[in-house]
Amino acid sequence: MADAWFESVKEAERRARKRLPLSVYKALVAGSERGQTLNQNINAFGELGFAPRVAGAPQERALSTTVLGQDLALPVMISPTGVQAVHPDGEVAVARAAASRGTAMGLSSFGSKPVEEVVDANPQTFFQIYWSGSRDAMTHRLDRAKRAGAVGLIVTLDWSFSHSRDWGSPKIPTAMDLRTMARHAPEILLHGKWRYLMDYARTLRPPQLSVPNMTLPGERAPGFFDAYGEWMQTPRPTWEDLRWLREQWDGPFVIKGICRVDEARRAVDIGATGISVSTHGGNNLDGTPAAIRALPAVVDAVGDQVEVLMDGGVRRGGDVVKALALGARAVLIGRAYLWGMAANGQAGVENVLDVLRNGIDSTLQGLALGSVRELRRQDLVIPDGFGRRLGAENGNETYTPR
C-alpha cells in the first residue's frame, strides 16, 4: 500500500503509538527514573551543527563500510533488543529487513526467536549475551550461537538492576495467560488496536514472553522474568571474568556500554575487538551523559586499537553522520526499528533503514563529501564543552573534541 510508507522515524513512532496497546508502546519509550539520560541521548545531537560546502560535491556518494569484518551497505546496524512483542514475526522479520538493506543484525539472548532462525534470515548476525548464570551456562549459549553461524559476539554491560523504573514504564506481565489477556483486553478492544490483535490472531498464539536463546540442555525455554531473575542474581563480572569470556569466543568480540576512557582501555587489554559507547538507551543509570558526548573521548583513547561503535538517540541520517564524524565506525539503532516494525512489520523496518540511508546520503551531499569514510570532526560545528571525558586520569572532564 502506498500510504504505508513513512518519511521519518518520528512518523514511524507516531504510527507505532497509534497501533500498539499503550502498555507495549510505553515499554518501548520508557527510560530509567526521570528520563534524563534518555532525553539527553536525543537532545545532544541537536547541539552539534554542520559545516557545509556549496561546491565540489561528487555526483555519487558511497555509504558502504566494513564493521568487525562484515561488509555493510550503510553504517547502521540493528542493536539487540529483548522480547519484541510489537509484531509476531519479531527478530526474524528484523533480520530479513536488515539483510535486504545489506546490514548486520544484533540478536539479544533475551530475544523471542531462536538464534538458528535469525541467522538463517540474516547470516550477518551478531549474538548478544549478558553475564548471566554459571560459566557452564554461558559457554553453552556461546557454543549454540557458534554452531548457528553467528559472526560475532556482543557483551552487554550497560544494564544493571534498577528498581527506580518510574519514567513511564508499565508493568510487564510474566506470561500471556488467560488472566493476563483478559486484563489487557480493554486496552485493545476499547482503544481500537485491532490491527495489533489481528497480527497475532493469524498466528493463533498470543505474544510470547519466553526467551529461547537462554534455554539450557534438557530444559524448556525460560520466561523473560525467569531469565531476568537469573541475570539479576548473578554477581557482576570482573575484568578477569570478561577476559575468560573473551577466551571462549574466537571471533569479533564487542563490549557494549562503555562510556569511560579507563574502561575502554581495559576492554582493549582483555582482547575486545570492538566497543559500543552506550547508555542502554537511557534504561540504566539515569544521569549518565549522552552516549554521543562520551564518544569522542573514547575514540581518542582507543580508536586506533579497536573499532568504536555508538548507540543511543539516533533518529535521523544526520545523527548517523555526526557520530561518524566524531569517530564511530557505525551506529546501532533500537527504538527506531522497533517503531518501524510496529508500524508495518518487516517493510516498516526496511522503511526506517531507507529513511536513515537517505538522510546520510543527503547530509554527505550538503558536506560535499563522496563517502562516509571521509567524515571528520572538521565537518561539524561542536560547541565548547560538548564532550564528556569520563574516567580520565585527572577525573571526569568537560571538553571540546578538536
CA dihedral 170, 174, 176, 182 (to 10 degrees): -60
C-alpha span between 49 and 386 (Å, rounded)? 12
Three-class secondary structure assignment of 214-244: HCCCCCCCCEHHHHHHHHHHCCCCCHHHHHH
C-alpha span between 242 and 270 (Å, rounded)? 7
Among the listed residues 87, 163, 191, 280, the single catalytic one is 280
C-alpha span between 185 and 264 (Å, rounded)? 47
280 is a catalytic site residue: yes
- In one letter, which amino acid is 117? E
Nearest residue to 144 (alpha-carbon basis) of 184, 109, 176: 109
CA atoms within 13 A on the CB side of 266: 15
Residues whose CB falls within 8 Å of the CB of residue 284, separated by 6 or more in sequence, listed in order? 32, 37, 158, 159, 160, 162, 257
- The three cell numbers locating residue 54: 556549496
| DSSP-derived secondary structure for 80-143 | P-S--TTSTTHHHHHHHHHHHTT--EEE-TT-SS-HHHHHHH-SSEEEEE-S-S-HHHHHHHHH
Nearest residue to 396 (alpha-carbon basis) of 260, 276, 292: 260
Give catalytic residue positions: 280
